[in-house]
Amino acid sequence: MKIGIMSMQRITNYGSYLIAVALKNTFEKMGHEVQFVDFKIEPCINNESLDTYLEELTEKDKFFINQTHEFKQKFKTEFLKELGIDKRNERPQLDTLVIGSDEVFNCTQDNPDVGCSLELFGKDANAKSIISYAASCGSTTYDKLKKYSLDKDVSNLLRKFKSISVRDNNSKEFVEQLIGVTPEMSLDPVLLYNFENDIIDNVKEKNYIIVYSYNLRFSKEENEAIKKFAEKYNKQIIGVGNYQSCCDKYIPAHPLEVLPYFQKADYIFTDTFHGSIFAMKTKRPFATIIRPSNKQKLGDLLERFHLSDRCLSSLDNLESLLLEPIDFSKAYETIEKERKKALQYLEKNL
């Protein structure tokens, strides 16, 4: 069958890239012909950012931020082409369009690279059938849809899906409230797929902590806390792909190098969904800060995989949390169970 993947594949983000790799390779192993499909980017309807960022930049900060800008250009011009993502591919003729994974249902977000595009709900799709896989609403809720008068349009589009799969409880409730259907809860593709034959391991660093977030999203207090911990235990602080002011080093790693960097890190400090997943996947000690913009999906992730104790409630607890041994056994029991369910869902609906 001719399968199209409509995801966040053009976003310069490691999680989005690895999702694209995972879905493409999974579908091809099932015997399908796979292509990535672009959605039409529309203006944002919500311009109120939920997160705070560092405002005063040092010369060191400016130097590394310039490097991250160069890296993002390389991401677009080189790394995406390796996935076969180059010229825009809008509304191709398909047997099945798979929408997801990632925040494809987050139509009230403030990212201008995505905007409020109803094509992410299947509008004007040129496919015999439409399904979603592990879709997320991110910070969008049913109440927000009502606020922006999008509820009727979105509900009408979702009713046309052959089957709906989401990756978090907020998204599940979102679909239930809109169309009265309980969607399948599915595993994020990064946990679904084994990257063993895809990863690039060029890691030379030792004795390091990875801080993983969007550029400069850590507060002054958060940067100071992680620096204090690193100094006490003689660790260097590395930003992979993105930069925080506490970093000793910035590494613009290839997306397929990310998991090896996590695997060899002594500790992980993150406030992102996929940063937490990378730590889970590599079984490394980690602490996660939950922000207003990701509390629905990130809190759900940690709870679902029995790792809610990884949530950092106070910076005073950072040291004890990172040093506390983690029992990943329950998490991996759940992952294996959910992996089987996810593959069954895909085999049934593709």
Per-residue pLDDT reduced to its tens digit, 201-234: 999 999 999 999 999 999 999 999 999 999 999 9
Q: In this model, does residue 50 exceed pLDDT 50? A: no
Residue 53, pLDDT score? 54
How many Å apart are CA 298 and CA 281, to the nearest integer?
15
The CA-based angle 124-49-244, given to 5 degrees, is: 115
- Are 334 and 305 a contacting pair, CB within 8 Å? yes
Cis amide linkage into residue 101, ω under 30° from 0: yes
Sign of CA dihedral 76, 136, 258, 276: positive
How many Å apart are CA 323 and CA 310, to the nearest integer?
11
The DSSP-derived string for 102-127 is BSTT-TT---TTT-S-GGGGTTT--E
How many Å apart are CA 24 and CA 144, to the nearest integer?
32
Lowest mean pLDDT among 188-197, 230-239, 293-302: 293-302
How many Å apart are CA 7 and CA 230, to the nearest integer?
37
Q: Residue 262: name the closest of 305, 323, 223, 208 by CA.
A: 208
Residue 207, pLDDT score? 97
Residue labelled with tokens 């550029």: 215
- Are 280 and 259 a contacting pair, CB within 8 Å? no
Task: Please report the domains of the chain, with CATH numbers, ordered by start residue.
Answer: 2-51+86-193+336-349 (3.40.50), 208-334 (3.40.50.2000)
Helix (H) / strand (E) containing 34: strand 33-36
Q: In this model, does residue 317 exceed pLDDT 50? A: yes
Residue 55, pLDDT score? 58
Q: In this model, does residue 159 exceed pLDDT 70? A: yes
For residue 295, what pLDDT band results from cuts at 50, 70 and 90? confident
Biggest CA–CA distance in the chain, Å, is 59
How many Å apart are CA 83 and CA 86, to the nearest integer?
9
pTM of the model: 0.94
How many Å apart are CA 114 and CA 269, to the nearest integer?
27
Residue 188, pLDDT score? 97
For residue 48, what pLDDT band results from cuts at 50, 70 and 90? low
Q: For 108-135, how does the pLDDT look when each residue is reduced to its tens digit (9 = 90+)? A: 988 888 889 999 999 999 999 999 999 9
How many Å apart are CA 140 and CA 132, to the nearest integer?
17
Token pair recorded at residue 271: 């406030």
How many Å apart are CA 160 and CA 37, to the nearest integer?
19
- Are 225 and 315 a contacting pair, CB within 8 Å? yes
Pairing of strands 184-185, 165-166: parallel
Q: Residue 114: name the closest of 137, 134, 132, 93 by CA.
A: 137
From the number of C-beta atoms within 10 Å of its C-beta (0-12, 13-18, 19+), residue 154 rates as: buried
> What is the pLDDT of the chain when averaged over all its residues?
93
Helix H segments across 14-104? Answer: 14-29, 59-74, 80-82
SS3 132: strand
